[in-house]
Structures are given as structure tokens and as C-alpha cells.
Amino acid sequence: MHSAGLIPLVFGDVVLDQAIGGTVFSTDAMLAELAKYFYLQGKFKVRLINVGNYAGVYDQEGQVVSNITQANYSQIKPFLGKSTSVDVTGGMAKKVEEFLAISSLGIDCWIIDGNIPGNLASSVLGTPTLGTLIRAF
């Protein structure tokens, strides 16, 4: 994909599972698995970017948290609520947990607002206009 200049765009879906029959394979879990796969190949600079209709992770005052790490996660965790729309995958809390886990490999994970013109492009380059960066340290 990289040599062809492609960037994977994914979304969750229902998948069949031998143990439980069927389950939701969330976008966040899929992103984490793809990021880990490409990272472990050692050929790629991997940056995980989740684009949504929210500006990032919000604190108790409704302000965007610019950075989440293992060190400050316990302070932010109580404010991670359920999704305001239909979401069967765990909402923002599960998203942040998935991204903290994958960030332990050294992969930067961004949660950004896709409604801001140019935000995705600037995120691909490493400097989003608005969003939350999740990294291990």
C-alpha cells in the first residue's frame, strides 16, 4: 500500500467468530491492529488517526484535552463518556483505551475533528489543527 501511495481508510463491521458466532469488530480495534501490523514491519512511520465529528477528547469543562498519556489517563478517564449517537463499540472510553495500548509501541494516535477543513491533511503531516494526541509518554 505504501509504495502505491495509499492510506488505509477503515470502518468497523460485524464479523463471524468461531467462539461466539458473531461480534462487532470496532473501527478502533481495526485501526490498532493495522497500526501494529505496519509498525512491526519496521518499514513505515505509523501514525493512527481517528477522524470523527468531535474535536477530540473533552475534559470536565468541555474543553479539548490536547494530550493523553499513561501519566494523566487516570485524571481524564472519569470524563470519558458514552457516545451521543448509536455506538455499540464502547464510545470514547474504549477508543482511548485501545489507543493508549497501541501507543505503547511508540505509535502516535490522534483523535481529530473531520469537519475542520484541512485537519486530516495536517494530521497526516503530524500537526492537526485541533484534536487529542494519545501517546505512551
All structural domains of the chain: 27-134 (3.40.1160.10)
Residue 22 has pLDDT above 90, yes or no: no
Average pLDDT of span 100-114: 92
Predicted local confidence at residue 134, as pLDDT: 95
The set of cell numbers assigned to 54 is 468531535
Residue 8 has pLDDT above 70, yes or no: no
Residue 9 has pLDDT above 80, yes or no: no
Average pLDDT of span 35-57: 88
* 129 in Cβ contact with 110 (< 8 Å): no
Question: Cα 55 to chain center, whole Å?
Answer: 13
Name the more confident of 39 and 4. Answer: 39
Name the more confident of 31 and 100. Answer: 100
Name the more confident of 108 and 87. Answer: 108
Average pLDDT of span 59-80: 92
Task: Quickly count helices (H) and strands (E) in the chain.
Answer: 4, 6
Name the more confident of 2 and 73. Answer: 73
Count the alpha carbons within 13 Å of 126 in the hemisphere toward its beta carbon.
4
Buried b (16+ CB within 10 A) or exposed e, 60-90: eeeebbeebeeeeeeebeeebeebeeeeeeb
pTM of this structure: 0.79
- The Cα–Cα gap between 109 and 53 comes to 17
Average pLDDT of span 60-81: 91
How many other β-carbons are positioned within 10 Å of the β-carbon of residue 33? Answer: 14
- The Cα–Cα gap between 69 and 113 comes to 20
> Which residue reads 470514547 in cell numbers?
92
**Model confidence band, residue 89 (pLDDT cutoffs 50, 70, 90):** low
